[in-house]
Amino acid sequence: MSGNIQLLSDTLAGAKAEGRAALIAYLPAGFPTVDGGIEAIKAAFDGGADVVEVGLPHSDPVLDGPVIQTADDIALRGGVKIADVMRTVKETYEATGKPVLVMTYWNPIDRYGVERFTAELAEAGGAGCILPDLPVQESALWREHAQKHALATVFVVAPSSKDARLAEITAAGSGFVYAASLMGVTGTRESVGAQAQDLVERTRVAGAGADLPVCVGLGVSNAAQAAEVAGFADGVIVGSAFVKRMLDAADDKAGVEGVRALAGELAKGVRRQA
DSSP code of 124? T
The three state secondary structure string of 196-257 is HHHHHHHHHHHCCCCCCCEEEECCCCCHHHHHHHHCCCCEEEECHHHHHHHHHCCCHHHHHH
* 163: annotated active-site residue: no
Q: What is the dihedral sign for C-alpha 194, 262, 178, 6?
A: negative
The active-site residue out of 39, 50, 64, 72 is: 64
Residues 136 and 159: their CA atoms lie apart, in Å, by: 17
DSSP code of 181? S
Cis peptide before 108 (omega within 30 of 0): no
For 114-127, letters b (16+ CB in 10 Å) and e give beebbbbbbebbbb
The active-site residue out of 39, 50, 53, 168 is: 53
* 64: annotated active-site residue: yes
- For residue 216, the cross-strand partners are 179, 236
For the CA atoms of 171, 204, 62, 80, what is the dihedral angle to 10 degrees?
-70
Residues 46 and 238: their CA atoms lie apart, in Å, by: 15
Residues 21 and 14: their CA atoms lie apart, in Å, by: 10
Nearest to 138 by CA among 160, 120, 153, 127: 153
Residues known to be catalytic: 53, 64
